[in-house]
Amino acid sequence: DSGVTQTPKHLITATGQRVTLRCSPRSGDLSVYWYQQSLDQGLQFLIQYYNGEERAKGNILERFSAQQFPDLHSELNLSSLELGDSALYFCASSSPVGGQTNNEQFFGPGTRLTVL
Amino acid sequence: AQKITQTQPGMFVQEKEAVTLDCTYDTSDPSYGLFWYKQPSSGEMIFLIYQGSYDQQNATEGRYSLNFQKARKSANLVISASQLGDSAMYFCAMTSPFASKIIFGSGTRLSIRP
């Protein structure tokens, strides 16, 4: 158990819908990262938050957004869902100094999103 | 730009044998970190081992060791005395202090034969 929790574990929805994925980092970790793992794209970094502020953006679509709340939990919002958004979405956390990333990230169990 | 390459899509190894999973990387940053993660069929990502670019010695964690060859830009994972439970996808990853993201390779699927 990494200490990172993600809910829900599975999510099935229809095209055009909007969903919210939730992540609670390990106790004491200030950074939260979101990743998408799909069969054709592999593991892709989406976005990082550090202590409530966006720190870095990766391959995140404009239909997707995220935020980190004062209690450090984070939510990833996916809207206007398409079939190709079906994937495993991971949240990871770490406790880098100043938001740097030169140390390990601990992953949550993931949310498997299926868009029908 | 940073890049991670894993050239072995799949490997089969006999139980109790040692196995080496290859990883090469490319970066212009002088400071970076290299990681290996294991992803079993259940889906979770499990951190295995970390090597810093300035570390003088190769990292070791139990049966896992990282063969770090900086001049060749390689960071191979060595698993000694493989076990059936080692069957999984293995990802090599890299980050740097100011890149603010972690880049993953395409992974190697390791299957251990009894």
Each residue's pLDDT expressed in tens, for chain A with a length of 116 residues: 889 999 999 999 999 999 999 999 999 898 899 999 998 778 898 999 989 999 888 889 999 999 999 999 999 999 999 999 999 999 999 876 554 445 678 899 999 999 99
In this predicted structure, which of A96-105, B3-12, B70-79 has the lowest mean pLDDT?
A96-105
Among A42, A101, A109, beta carbon nearest to B104 = A42
Question: Sorting pLDDT into bands at 50, 70 and 90, what band is B96?
Answer: confident
Give the distance from residue A44's alpha carbon to the nearest chain B alpha carbon, in angstroms. Answer: 8
> Is the CB of A58 less than 8 angstroms away from the CB of B98?
no
Q: Where does residue B73 fall: left (phi above 0), alpha (psi -120 to 50 degrees), or beta otherwise? A: left
| Rounded CA separation A107/A110 (Å) | 8
User: Other CB atoms closer than 10 Å to residue A18's CB: what's the count?
Assistant: 11
Give the distance from residue B94's alpha carbon to the nearest chain A alpha carbon, in angstroms. Answer: 9
B3 touches chain A (CB under 8 A): no
Give the distance from residue B106's alpha carbon to the nearest chain A alpha carbon, in angstroms. Answer: 6
> Is the CB of B35 less than 8 angstroms away from the CB of A104?
yes
> Is the CB of A45 less than 8 angstroms away from the CB of B107?
no
Among A43, A56, A103, beta carbon nearest to B91 = A43
The 8-class DSSP code of residue A41 comes to: T
Amino acid at B31: S
Among A42, A58, A109, beta carbon nearest to B44 = A109
- DSSP per residue over B18-64, as a string? -EEE--EEE---SS-EEEEEEE-TT---EEEEEEETT-SS--EETTE
Among B37, B95, B107, beta carbon nearest to A102 = B95
Over 90: is that where the pLDDT of B102 sits?
Answer: no
- 3-class SS of residue A99: helix
- Token output for B80: 């000694």
